[in-house]
Each structure stands twice: as C-alpha cells, then as structure tokens.
Structure 1
C-alpha cells in the first residue's frame, strides 16, 4: 500500500509541486499584496528560458515526426484512413467544447492587461495571410511572432527528408536526436515551473487580488464536465459505430488498463504498451494496431484539442475580448487541429499550442502564456486520458473502415 502511494506521488510529482508553487505564490500574493512584485523576476526568468527553448523544440518535434512516417506511408490507403479518423475525432471533440463554451460562457471576471493587440488589421487580407504563413528571411523563423510559418517550414523539412531516401538517413537521425534533446531541455526548464509560475501567480494575486481565482474555477469545472461527457458518451458511440453492441462491450471491457495508465502517467507515449495490449485483446489486426497506436500517441489528441479551446476562451475572457466571433471560433478550430499534431507525447506538452494560439490572436505573450500554462497543467490528467484512450477507440473505427462491419463478430462468434 505504501509502495502504491509512493508510485502515485512519483507519477504526479511534477503536477503536485507545480500546484504547491502556485498555492504558495497565491498565499504570498494575498498576504503581501503589491509588495510581492519583488519576486516577479523569478517568473520572468522562467518564461524567458521557455521562450528561447520553444522555437527549436517546435522545429525538431514536427520535422522528426513527419520524417519518421516513412514506414506508415508504404501502406497508402490505410495511412489515409488513419489520418481521416484522427482528424474527424479531433474536430468533433473541439466543436463539442466550443459549443459548451458558447452555452456556458466564461465571463470577463478580470482583465489583467490593457496592452493593445499586436494587430496587422491595417494590411490587406493577402498581406495578412502572407505574414501569417511565411517569413521574409530564415532568421525571422526564429521569432515566436512567426510561429505558424515555422510550423509550415518544419513540415516541409520533414517531408523533404522523406523524399531524400537513403541519402537523408543521417539527417533524419539528426532530427530524431534533436527532438529528444529539446524535449529533455524542456523537462529541465520545467523543473523551475513551481518557482517560476509560483512567482508569477504571486504577482497576479498581489496586484489584481483574490478575485483572480474566479477566472480559473469555472473553465476548469466546465472542461472536466464536458470531457467526462465526451469520454463516456462519445467513446461509447464510436465503439458502437465500429462494432455495434459487441463493440461497446469489447471496448469498455478492455480499456480500463489503458485509461488508468494514461491517468497515472499523464503521457500518451507511456500508454502505448497498454494500448497495444488492449487492441490485441480487441482482435484489432496487427497491421492496424501497430500503426494506429504508435502514430496516434504524438499525432492524435482529442483531449488536447478540447483543452486548446478552453485555454483560448480563458485568455479571451481574461483580456476582455469576445470569443463568440465566427472568425475567432474558426481560427480556434484550426489551432486545435495543428495542436493535435504539434504536441509531443510528453506531460504538459501543450505549451507549444498555447504559444501558437497567443501568437495568432496577437495577445501579449508575457501576460497570456502563464494563464494558459496554469489551465493547461490543471487539465493535463483528463486531457491525457482522452488523448491516449482515444487511440484505442480510433483503432476500432479504422478497423471497421478497413475490414468491414463484420470484423469483430467474425473474430468472436464461432
């Protein structure tokens, strides 16, 4: 029993320490008020380290992910089906969260900044698109203001490395190695998160008062409620579409271990073995499960798409901006799709998507990112559950499309 408690603490230690740092910072802010401004540099140092690491992390994560799809692409039609199913469930989950936010709006309970937007609205629509998708020179890709251009460039580099064949082997190895190095660098920087975000939260509470907590309570409650609904109702529906009533029974009788593993590790990558074992018991063909599960871990994230929407809504509420504008909602939907691909299968991997959203909408990074990171950290366990478990039910849908509607009954009924 003691060993289980120790393992649980070890699993959630980063989140626990982060919550402790935020709580301690909040208490300091409540007690000392504006005097806590003296520790604000600690938060600024943490954010600056994160800003400098995020650009190479994005490049290596995307480029290496694309360059390592070579084996999957050989299966042609199956690869198209896999991507089609992944995108469909991501879009459905994002739309569900957008509808929930529209029905239960996150009100403008506190405006933390009156800094004007970094707007480009004075330019023509063509110029706006050009600036959003491209950069004038290579060095401009290294600015977080060119985030989308960097992502597109990273995709192109990944595809180019695929086309290079054997001659590009060393470069693909370099991308994979760089991806791992940058992830480890992010882990090192995140060790400072309890102090950095604690200092930032102390500053926010000290300056703006205890009413700051109201900006997070409702969105967190809304997120967990909608995700629980999606997990139970929509996953059941997906299983029914994949295999009828038998599909529902097979899914829910085999997904307990993957679900608990996802909650226990907060990592889609760490859940791959449990997912592979579960899909084997579900009689999903090996050529499907061996592609859908490993590919789904870094590329398919229903929970992250939903958390992306809630974080954008929180940022808009904090800055007193309207989240109901059709253009804003359409861009939010596009961001969730990109985030599903960009995020690595690592705990708290959503920071890349948060920076992308903040950049596209033109919010001041220094004020918006910490708020999004706090929300992202608090929703991480539930997001990982949907991300990882969604790969299992998606594998069932892929099998239904590839093998026909009798794929499951032919395996289980004599």
Structure 2
C-alpha cells in the first residue's frame, strides 16, 4: 500500500515568488529597458519602421496613463490620511512648519544655483533657434489661475480633469475636518487608510512595469526627436542636468552631513530605488510609495513620514519648480532678445519658491514654466521651444524632486531628535518586489493579531 503523500508545506515559497526571485535586480531591469528603448527608438527613426514607432508610443503612453489613473485618488487619500495621522505625532504643528521651512530653504538654494548657471553659460545664445520656432501652449498658468484654481467648482471635476492642486485642497479640508470631529470621524479615517493601502498596492503593481515603461518612453523620445535635437539645446540640456546634479549630489549631501549629522552615502544607498524610479517614470506622485518606504527605512517615524512625503510629492519640486524655470526664463529671454534685470531675477526666485505647488508632482513642468514666463512678461511661445526637449529634461528634474522629498524629512526628523539613528545607519537599498512583499506582511500582521 502506498504511503500517503505529505501535506504541502504552507511556508514553502509559491511559484510566482520563485519566478520573481529569478528576475534580475530592478535596477538592472531599468537599465535593460533604457538600452532597448534607445536601440528600438533608433531603429524606428532611422529605418522608418512605423509599426515599431507606434508600439513604443503605445507602451510608453500606457505606462504614463496607468500612473495618471492612480494620481487623483492617491493624492486625495495620501494627503487626507497624512493630516489625520498627525494626531499621533507630538508637536505636529511644529513638525509641519519645520518641514515647510526646509522645503522653502532648499528651493531657494536650488533656484540660486539655476540662475547662476544660466547667467554663466547663456543657454539661449548660439542655438540657431528663433522666435518663429516656438508656439503658444494649449494651457497657460497665471497667478490668478494658481490662486483661484485651488478651489474646485465641484467635487467630481478635479478628479475627472486631474486638477491636482484642487485635489490637494479637497484632501486638506477633509483631513482637517476629520481631525476636528475627533472620535466621530474614526470610521471615515479607517476607510481612508484602507483606501490608501489599496491604491498603494495597485501602484506597486504599476511600478513593477517601470522597466517596460522605460523602454517605451525612451524609445518614443528617440523616435520622435532623434539625436539632432540635442544639438540646438545642448547648452540648455547640460545646464539643467548640471544644476540638478549639483542639488542632488551637492546640496542634499551637505545638508544631511552638516544639518542632520548623518552619513549622506547611507542616504543614497537607501534612497536609490526611489531616485531611479523617479528618473524613468517622471512622476513624483507615481514614485510616492517607494519614496515613503525609503524614508521610513532611513529611520523617519512612520507617522511623520506619512505626512511629509505625500506633502512633498505635491509641493517639493526643486528640479521642476526651481532649477528648471530659472534656466528656462533665461533661455527664452535670450531667444526672444529680451533683457532681464535684477527685479526679474528676484521675481524668478519668488515664483520658484512660492509657486512650486503648481507642478503638482506630474510629468512635465509646463504650468510652472508658463507661470514664470507670464510673471516676467516673456512670450509664451517660448514654452513651445522647451516642450521639444522636455521629456529628456524631466527625468533628471523628477529624480532631483524625489531625492529632496526623502532628504527633507530626514533632516527635520534629525533636528527634532525623532530620527532612529540605528535604523538610518543600517539602512540599505531594496528591491521593488521585496518592498511590496514587506507591505503585504505588515498589512497581514494586524489581521493575524486580531484573529
């Protein structure tokens, strides 16, 4: 008689997990997608392979659309829940104020770097571009739009039109009202936390598609613009990348070392998954779950990180709202032969520091650029000149944004003596799949405890 077959080991890893473990590291997948995107884009452009170009466009467009699909509800619940979480933090108002202060300080430093580089290199001179090459954007930004546009005309419209600033307004009002209601709002807060966890779970799935999205986005850019375009924008492109690199690898490490008293190399080792994902996805909000995971692993208390990171993902834009607009203003002024004076540079600083919320953590910085040009009285046709090269520039801008969104909470937590230094000193990088599984385990633990 045959012996009964042994019962399956519940602790044994399932086949899908074994398959995921067999995949190369996430950073290697990203690099592979980048290389294949360049190759396929070059083939599609130089050999006129229309079907390949359309395929790359569909892949890249679908990835961005998936990110944008999650943006509205994710921003709403992330901001609302983060505000309600402040009830669990001592000195919440002080922490919020210090966070905003450091956002402003780093933005001020970033815009100063952008202006300095622009004045030293004159990115608009000798490009061969003329005012006739520009075109007015379909949508514009102005201070009136910025101020009045914060208040939605209905509850549904901001989500349908993806007006992120209005969504932030609704979320802030909801979160503050829930705090004021106290225990009566407990069911609503529980629902919000559950909805946020669900949205983050879906976003983790989308994030895993980033290597494929990278292939499509890079391939589409190469196929559409080619390498010739870089010649006209060489100085401007280098300026943006150099400016962002100075902030990313100069300003943030200096602040971490001098102000927070921590090892900057440890920060970059732990934060690299968020930085690389931001580079390829071009979305601060899309990177939000990874950024928050990074920040918590660096020893920032979860209650504070859950406020500071979503807040930063919609307002902390050193790349898109500080370095880039300052360089863009100088570039457009030189193309259109407009002289800028001291008062204009002061206005650039003001717009960059105060108006960063207009970028709202989405791909591109058109709203912020039009806001800057409008304030300075520069022709909006200059935006048309900048849109041609924008996808290439947006990668480094978003990487800089996300690095700042992780660095500032570390700085504030260290200054307020709530940073877990042991966790910071032992923080390491992680795989995207590993982080998603950690979230699964954390979500299951309360359920097991209550069973």
Fold shared, TM-score > 0.5 on shorter chain: yes
Secondary structure in 1 aligned to 2:134? coil
* Displacement after TM superposition at 1:274 (Å): 3.8
1:139-196 per-residue CA deviation (whole Å, 9 max, x = no partner) reads: 5324547442233223334444554512314531453145325524643664333223
- Name the counterpart of 1:233: 254
How far apart are the structure 2 equivalents of 1:176 and 1:55?
A: 14
1:331-376 per-residue CA deviation (whole Å, 9 max, x = no partner) reads: 332343576xx6xxxxxxx535747646867989999778545334
After TM superposition, the structure 1 = structure 2 runs for residues 13-412 of structure 1, keeping only pairs within 5 Å, are 13=28, 15-21=30-36, 23-24=38-39, 27-28=42-43, 31=46, 35=48, 41-42=54-55, 45=58, 46-47=60-61, 50-51=64-65, 53-54=67-68, 56-75=70-89, 78-105=91-118, 107-108=123-124, 109=127, 114-118=134-138, 128=145, 131-142=148-159, 144=161, 146-162=163-179, 163=181, 165-169=185-189, 171-181=191-201, 183-184=203-204, 186-187=206-207, 190=210, 191-205=212-226, 208=229, 210-212=231-233, 214-239=235-260, 248=261, 251-252=262-263, 256-263=265-272, 266=275, 267-272=290-295, 274-276=297-299, 289=301, 291-293=303-305, 295-300=307-312, 305-308=317-320, 309-313=322-326, 327=347, 329-336=349-356, 350-351=361-362, 354=365, 357=368, 371-378=389-396, 384-399=402-417
Q: Which runs of 5+ in 2 are unaligned?
A: 1-20, 276-289, 375-379, 419-451
Secondary structure in 2 aligned to 1:399? coil
* Displacement after TM superposition at 1:99 (Å): 0.9
1:261-299 per-residue CA deviation (whole Å, 9 max, x = no partner) reads: 1135534333245422xx7xxxxxxxxx45445544444
Higher helix share: 1
Q: Which runs of 5+ in 1 are unaligned?
A: 1-5, 240-247, 280-288, 343-349, 401-414
Change over 3 Å in CA distance of 1:118–1:65 after alignment to 2? same
Change over 3 Å in CA distance of 1:206–1:74 after alignment to 2? closer
Secondary structure in 2 aligned to 1:134? coil
Q: TM-score, normalised by structure 1?
A: 0.66
Instruction: State which drifts further: 169-178 or 359-368.
Output: 359-368
In 2, are the aligned partners of 1:60 and 1:179 still within 8 Å (CA)? yes
- Name the counterpart of 1:410: none
1:387-407 per-residue CA deviation (whole Å, 9 max, x = no partner) reads: 43443332121239xxxxxxx
- Name the counterpart of 2:437: none
1:205-248 per-residue CA deviation (whole Å, 9 max, x = no partner) reads: 27746545554223112221233331343334424xxxxxxxx4
In 1, are the aligned partners of 2:83 and 2:176 still within 8 Å (CA)? no
- Name the counterpart of 2:279: none
How far apart are the structure 1 equivalents of 2:327 and 2:49?
A: 24
- Considering only CA atoms, is the larger Rg found in Structure 1 or Structure 2? 2
Q: TM-score, normalised by structure 2?
A: 0.62
Secondary structure in 1 aligned to 2:149? helix
